[in-house]
Structure 1
Amino acid sequence: MSLVVVGASTNIARVAQTLGEPLIFVQLPGSHVPDLIRDDVDEAFTLDFRDERVLARFAEEILSPRRPKAVVSVTEGGLQPAAVLSTLLGTPATSVDVVRVMRDKLLMRELLAQRAPQLSVAFADARDEDAVAKLFAGHDHVIVKPVSGTASEGVRRLDAADEARLYTDGNIFEEYVDGPEYSVESFSRAGRHDVVAIVEKGVAGHFVEVSHLTPPTTLTAGESNLIERSVRELLDALGLRDGPAHTELKVSNHGVKIIETHNRPGGDGIADLVAITCGLDWRRLSLGWPLGESPVDPRPRANAAAITYFTAPPGTVTRTTEPACVSDGVTVEDWAIEVKVGDVVNDLRSSRDRVGWAIVSGTSAQACHSAVAALRAQPVVVTEAVS
């Protein structure tokens, strides 16, 4: 018997191998994860797991005879295929319906409007011209985003109704909510939702995430309690009972408003921040929960941690710098530059346009916050505009 992992990155494959189970990797064509296969222990199969007919044949012909213990994914594109395979095989998992409503922003809004309207915002399906016109008439600013988008791709703030004509089927319009933004990592077991970490988010450009800090420096104890209660209400409303969740929200003058949620751990290095400040291997727990993996003897390494993503003006890279010194009480845990001299940097329109990162830990959230500000102010990657 084995654990099936759908759509694993190289890093996730390494973590999965620590669970002590034979693994079956299910990958899209072109994946390099099979390079990590342990001889005589793991297997790898390449198929278009986005096609449910392909999944059904794969489950019947390949997986069913192997009798896997569970099917799991922690990557956005693998969540629904993993749920489909779990249903076909009868293994423990979040249901397909719950995964679908957490991935589809329009379905989520419609369900929240019925079950927890206090957590939601006004919205309109891009296909409904009357609803879109009504939304713009009632709000000065409106957000448009793909219904199933990720990585801040395609997220825009619109200030006039005539701009809506550029966005059609496949998009959702939402009331713009002012206020600070946070993400929440939670772990559920049999319908009980425990908040693991609240993370303060920094954004730039077209709402692209450029920093994450935990614990936040901008929340009162009352606001933290309100966030935790709101996340539990959200997960109950959507029907999540087991496993990890990553929820993005804002704290406004009208209370907590949900931006989106997913039944997976947060990306962008948030799992590393959880490991530092909570002492939990968040990736391993998120992969292993169907096998009974649960938080055990957490041992935090620092009071606070943050990740900042480096950005640069559009152009050709002319210079990159070495790790910088930061203030007392702060340690640089990781540093990476993903571009080299001669590469072209694009305008900052999604997470894919960032050029590197630094992870820091510290004695306090304020120390990490100051370190992030200092690093963001430095020209870590220098570019020259293309004439």
Structure 2
Amino acid sequence: MNKRIAVIGGRPAPIHGAKALGIDVVLVHQPGDYEDDILSHCEQVVHAPLDDAAAIIKVLEPLHRERPFARIITTTEVAGESTGKVVDHFQLTGVSYKTAHLLKDKVAMRKLLAEHDLSPVAYRHVTCAQDAIDFVAEHGRSVLKPAEGVASLHIHPCFDADTATQAWQALKHAEVRHIIIEEYLDGPVVSVDSFSFAGRHLPIGYSQYRMNDKYVEWEVSTPSTDAAKWLPELMDMTCRLLDAVELVEGPSHSEFVLTDKGPRVLESHARLAGSGAPELVRRAFGLDLNRMFLTVPLGIDELPLQSPQPKAGAAIQFFVPTPGTVRKVELDLKPDVDVRHTRPGETPRVFLPFLFELGEAQQAVVIQKHEGDTIPALDTVADCVSGYVLATGSSREDAVRIGDELVQAVHFIMEPKA
């Protein structure tokens, strides 16, 4: 008999190929938020708000009584804590609410890291403007941000009383209630993608970023050359971090800043990374995190004993045209580039349309904007909606070079400003 799991959310839902693997998937999602072609990979879809544990339990409970789930899992940030509560309710192995909460709440995570003498970073839970002013007076250049923030939203560097006050006021205006201030971590940002099973953690891929002045990443590339000289420390710190938050199973994505004092934890997540990182890891390191997400917890595939060595380089770069209205998009691409277009007038239900279909393409371009469409300013990762290029190369640098050439061959012609 096939093994049965429930998957909470995902854009795209990471369940392609589940039936062929002998896995019956019940997908819990919100109406209109999942792609139609995912239905062929599911046993059924049930609807519930992804951040409402009680609602998810209500729709899953009769199905669990009828035929128990082996696992209940998610890879979307909004469902992390709610899925943890559901896992605890059904007493299943997986990411508990405790683990999900520690990873989401940056104040709780910083406190835990300090208790474990891991990645020392000065921080403070901020409840008023004076807290921020006092912290900056003591530690100098700092960052004020939501303690449960995602997608690089509402991050405010501050260096004196005036900028600390302005940052506090901006967060209050945005109705952010849970706020943290941290010492500014100066250096390149890198990440480590890992997988855990039975409490054993396997670091797999390591990537680096290019980002704008609002800390929004518009390119991910792997294997990171920035991380190379710090690799033993990064691998060790990743495993110690995952032990500290008591992660026992599943994918994780941990981000670090490489300071002149060594790597420092920026944040971590008990899920697959966004921005196409699992596809980059597959291309560069040969392990398919999307498949492992389904198979390793169920014992279909074994977790490898050792971290893989890179065999290639891979990069994804988002188009970031000048904000405004599109007049037309012109392409000057070579014939061997796989080019895809979303349908004019339709908003894709997934963040990276066609990603699974482009698995064999060495060079690919996806265009998501058409005549009359609006290009937004790049304020968060969610604004990376104009399309992307995907490239595999002999190294990270080679893949980045190919990606740059692909981007330069796509011309977004904008309407002149009035």
State the TM-score, normalized to the length of structure 1. 0.88
Q: Which residue, out of 189, 193, 197, partners 2:205?
A: 197
- Map 1:280-319; keep pairs closer than 5 Å: 280-292=287-299, 293-295=301-303, 302-319=311-328
Moved more, 336-345 or 56-65: 56-65
Deviation of 1:296 (Å): 6.4
Say if 2:119 is the partner of 1:119.
yes
Q: State whether residues 201 and 212 of structure 1, in contact with CA within 8 Å, keep that contact through their aligned partners in structure 2.
A: yes
Q: State whether residues 28 and 45 of structure 2, in contact with CA within 8 Å, keep that contact through their aligned partners in structure 1.
A: yes
Say if 2:133 is the partner of 1:133.
yes
Deviation of 1:37 (Å): 2.8
> Can you list the C-alpha shifts for 1:89-146, whole angstroms capped at 9, x where unaligned?
2222121101111122222112112223x41422222325453222211344322332
Equivalence for 2:39? 37
Secondary structure of 1:154's match?
coil
Secondary structure of 1:247's match?
strand
> Can you list the C-alpha shifts for 1:232-280, whole angstroms capped at 9, x where unaligned?
2211222212221100111101111111100111110111111111111
The separation in 1 between residues aligned to 2:207 and 2:378, in whole angstroms, is: 22
Equivalence for 1:165? 169
Equivalence for 1:230? 237
The separation in 1 between residues aligned to 2:416 and 2:135, in whole angstroms, is: 39
Q: State whether residues 186 and 197 of structure 1, in contact with CA within 8 Å, keep that contact through their aligned partners in structure 2.
A: yes
Say if 2:79 is the partner of 1:70.
no
Q: State whether residues 311 and 381 of structure 1, in contact with CA within 8 Å, keep that contact through their aligned partners in structure 2.
A: no
Q: State whether residues 197 and 215 of structure 1, in contact with CA within 8 Å, keep that contact through their aligned partners in structure 2.
A: yes
Deviation of 1:299 (Å): 9.7
Deviation of 1:44 (Å): 1.3
> Can you list the C-alpha shifts for 1:208-233, whole angstroms capped at 9, x where unaligned?
11111111233444x11121111122
Equivalence for 2:104? 103
Q: Which residue, out of 263, 266, 271, partners 2:273?
A: 266
The separation in 2 between residues aligned to 1:296 and 1:101, in whole angstroms, is: 27
Deviation of 1:27 (Å): 0.9
Q: Which residue, out of 240, 248, 255, partners 2:247?
A: 240
Q: State whether residues 103 and 269 of structure 2, in contact with CA within 8 Å, keep that contact through their aligned partners in structure 1.
A: yes
Moved more, 374-383 or 339-348: 374-383
Deviation of 1:17 (Å): 3.9
Q: State whether residues 216 and 365 of structure 1, in contact with CA within 8 Å, keep that contact through their aligned partners in structure 2.
A: yes
Paired positions, count: 380
**Structure 2 residue runs without a partner (length 5+):** 336-360
Q: State whether residues 315 and 344 of structure 1, in contact with CA within 8 Å, keep that contact through their aligned partners in structure 2.
A: yes
Secondary structure of 1:22's match?
strand
Equivalence for 1:52? 53
> Can you list the C-alpha shifts for 1:172-220, whole angstroms capped at 9, x where unaligned?
2222211111011011222222210110111114111111111123344
Q: State whether residues 189 and 208 of structure 2, in contact with CA within 8 Å, keep that contact through their aligned partners in structure 1.
A: yes
Say if 2:369 is the partner of 1:339.
yes
Say if 2:393 is the partner of 1:362.
yes
Say if 2:278 is the partner of 1:275.
no
Q: State whether residues 280 and 295 of structure 1, in contact with CA within 8 Å, keep that contact through their aligned partners in structure 2.
A: no
The separation in 2 between residues aligned to 1:309 and 1:385, in whole angstroms, is: 23
**Structure 1 residue runs without a partner (length 5+):** none
Q: State whether residues 18 and 24 of structure 2, in contact with CA within 8 Å, keep that contact through their aligned partners in structure 1.
A: no
Secondary structure of 1:44's match?
strand
Residue 138 of structure 2 aligns to which amino acid in structure 1?
A: G
Percent identical residues:
25
State the TM-score, normalized to the length of structure 2. 0.82
The separation in 2 between residues aligned to 1:213 and 1:86, in whole angstroms, is: 33
Residue 7 of structure 1 aligns to which amino acid in structure 2?
A: G
The separation in 1 between residues aligned to 2:332 and 2:289, in whole angstroms, is: 26
Residue 95 of structure 2 aligns to which amino acid in structure 1?
A: T
Q: Would the alpha carbon gap of residues 105 and 29 (structure 1) be closer, same or farther in structure 2, given more than 3 Å must change?
A: farther
Deviation of 1:364 (Å): 2.0
Q: State whether residues 193 and 253 of structure 2, in contact with CA within 8 Å, keep that contact through their aligned partners in structure 1.
A: yes
> Can you list the C-alpha shifts for 1:307-349, whole angstroms capped at 9, x where unaligned?
11110111111232336459xxxx8432112111211112110
